[in-house]
Structure 1
Amino acid sequence: MEPLLGHGPSAGAGELPRAGWQAEALPVLRALAADEPSVQKLEVAGSAAGDGRVLDVWSDLDVLVTIDGDSAPVAERLAQAVPAALGPLYASSRSGDGREAGVRLVLADLRRIDLTVRTADAALHPPAQCGAGGLAGIAAAFRFDAVLAAFKAARQDLLISAHLALQLPRHVLVAAMILRDQETGTRHHRYGSTEWNVWPERLGAVAPPSSTLTITASIRHHAHVLQDLLAVHAPDLAVDDDPLHRLLAAVDRSAERQSAPSARP
């Protein structure tokens, strides 16, 4: 079917969507939701929920749909209907926990629409924000992946070792996100801040993990960054990383012995 907003995209080649596209797309989304018998209401969330003055070219359209029934099939039908109504789909991602299903859509003209479909029960009992328990889990996952990456490097399984080592900066960033949410009391951040942007900056101060020694260096560096982050914002979750550092030192010694030239008789 033809896009309901006309026969052309809302942005030309190489351009971002034009200002005001969110207000134009909203009636289309309301019409699509109205075709679903289980939908109770549709609300606009995020920056588009205001008077529009804070919207810019980077803003997406967040829509919250409350239903009576199973959220997943409704979310999937809407995910299929939106590109048919508004234009071709470029990329998408999905998430859900049973009571709530999320679909994030990027159209070919770079308009971004986030659909959250939740049951009425989920609306009455929203999930708690990820707190200290979640942060402790992230720190534990970091240490487990760090140890496993080091053992894989010792066995010269650089493929899996590098894969695990690349997980470590992601763990650090998730920990920083949780801490920022706790500090600000929200999971919605339109802009970053100098204070929190320092943590991803620090992750770039090490070479990519591609050999045994660069993998151990990467593990060691990210372990220090995580420890510093926790020391500043969650000191009760900081632990002694001596076991990890002893393991890394042993892996380094093993790699250096293997790369050393053989002694002549």
Structure 2
Amino acid sequence: MGWQVETLPALRALAADEPAVQKLEVSGSASGDGRLLDVWSDLDVLVTIDGDPEPVANRLALAVPAALGPLYASSRSGDGQETGVRLVLADLRRIDLTVRTAGGALHPPTRCGAADLAGIAAAFRFDAVLAAFKTARQDLLIGTHLALQLPRHLLVAAMILRDQETGTHHHRYGSTEWNVWPERLGAVAPPSNTLTITASIRHHAHVLQDLLAVHAPDLAIDDDPLHRLLAAVDRSAERHSAPSARS
């Protein structure tokens, strides 16, 4: 506890070594009086600069581990006016650095709507069909890979709907009705062979239909083509296993 406050002076010193840096601000749970800090909190820092944020972000991404300890994991994002570097040190301190060009337009939180759900539903159905065809050819590696994509599509849809309900894409805690979704998606055997792959596809297709029926009925379509395909894959598997079963 309290590592965020102890770490901040080192970050300020590193930023001071960068001539382009105009200011460094703390955001997120560590800002203000820090009442929102807990053992799970990271340290969010906004660095405003004059110029291109990318090279400054790159140098800070190297300087922070050199000053504070070994790096365990990291991720990056950027759009030309803003570069984000998320660092996880080996002692599990998490530091999120956002380097922003002074005067750059602030990007409003991304709002997801029907178009996003339509894209997810289309990607889900395509992956479901391809998983079934791959499984019919006994390419269980690709069939399983694609079948495992289906619950991920559904979780993304659930996150979009939760954002719409709460009006934000930032959720400090879970503990909402959407937390039951992982359990619902896990109520089927993991895909590993022909019959468990097709069962997994069926289960998740039904979940998608239920979700769309409630939240986006215009996007719901008849899944009969998918279910006919899955039935054909099952029959093919049963025919191939029948001789070995008799022997």
TM-score normalised to structure 1 length: 0.84
SS in 2 for 1:124: coil
Is the 2:49–2:99 Cα contact (8 Å) retained in structure 1? yes
Q: By how many angstroms is 1:150 displaced?
A: 0.9
SS in 1 for 2:170: coil
Q: By how many angstroms is 1:179 displaced?
A: 1.0
Q: 1:182 aligns with which of 147, 164, 175?
A: 164
Residues 1:131 and 1:71: Cα distance change in structure 2 (over 3 Å)? farther
Measured against aligned partners, the alpha-carbon deviations of 1:129-177 in whole angstroms (never above 9, x if no partner) come to: 3333222222221111111111111111111111111111111111111
Residues 1:130 and 1:119: Cα distance change in structure 2 (over 3 Å)? farther
**Structure 2: where are the runs of 5+ without partners?**
none
Q: By how many angstroms is 1:108 displaced?
A: 1.1
Q: By how many angstroms is 1:239 displaced?
A: 2.5
Partner of 1:217: 199
Partner of 1:3: none
Percent identity for Structure 1 against Structure 2:
89
Q: By how many angstroms is 1:121 displaced?
A: 5.6
Matched, 1:45 2:27: yes
Q: In 1, Cα distance between the equivalents of 2:165 and 2:116? A: 15
Residues 1:241 and 1:210: Cα distance change in structure 2 (over 3 Å)? same
Is the 2:109–2:168 Cα contact (8 Å) retained in structure 1? no
User: Amino acid of the residue matched to residue 88 of structure 1?
Assistant: P
Q: By how many angstroms is 1:224 displaced?
A: 1.5
| RMSD between aligned residues | 2.1
Partner of 1:114: 96
Q: In 1, Cα distance between the equivalents of 2:104 and 2:166? A: 23
Partner of 1:256: 238
Q: 2:130 aligns with which of 133, 148, 153?
A: 148
Q: 1:35 aligns with which of 5, 13, 17?
A: 17
Q: In 2, Cα distance between the equivalents of 1:153 and 1:121? A: 53
SS in 1 for 2:243: coil
Q: 1:157 aligns with which of 139, 142, 147?
A: 139
Matched positions, count: 246
Q: 1:80 aligns with which of 50, 59, 62?
A: 62
User: Amino acid of the residue matched to residue 131 of structure 1?
Assistant: G
Q: In 2, Cα distance between the equivalents of 1:43 and 1:159? A: 48
Residues 1:241 and 1:71: Cα distance change in structure 2 (over 3 Å)? farther
User: Amino acid of the residue matched to residue 86 of structure 1?
Assistant: L
Q: In 1, Cα distance between the equivalents of 2:160 and 2:245? A: 52
Matched, 1:105 2:80: no
Q: By how many angstroms is 1:125 displaced?
A: 4.0
Matched, 1:242 2:242: no
Is the 1:66–1:123 Cα contact (8 Å) retained in structure 2? no
Is the 1:207–1:218 Cα contact (8 Å) retained in structure 2? yes
Partner of 1:13: none
Q: In 1, Cα distance between the equivalents of 2:72 and 2:202? A: 38
SS in 2 for 1:73: helix
**Structure 1: where are the runs of 5+ without partners?**
1-18
Deviates most, 96-105 or 241-250: 96-105
Measured against aligned partners, the alpha-carbon deviations of 1:10-64 in whole angstroms (never above 9, x if no partner) come to: xxxxxxxxx1111111222222223223333333222222321221111111222
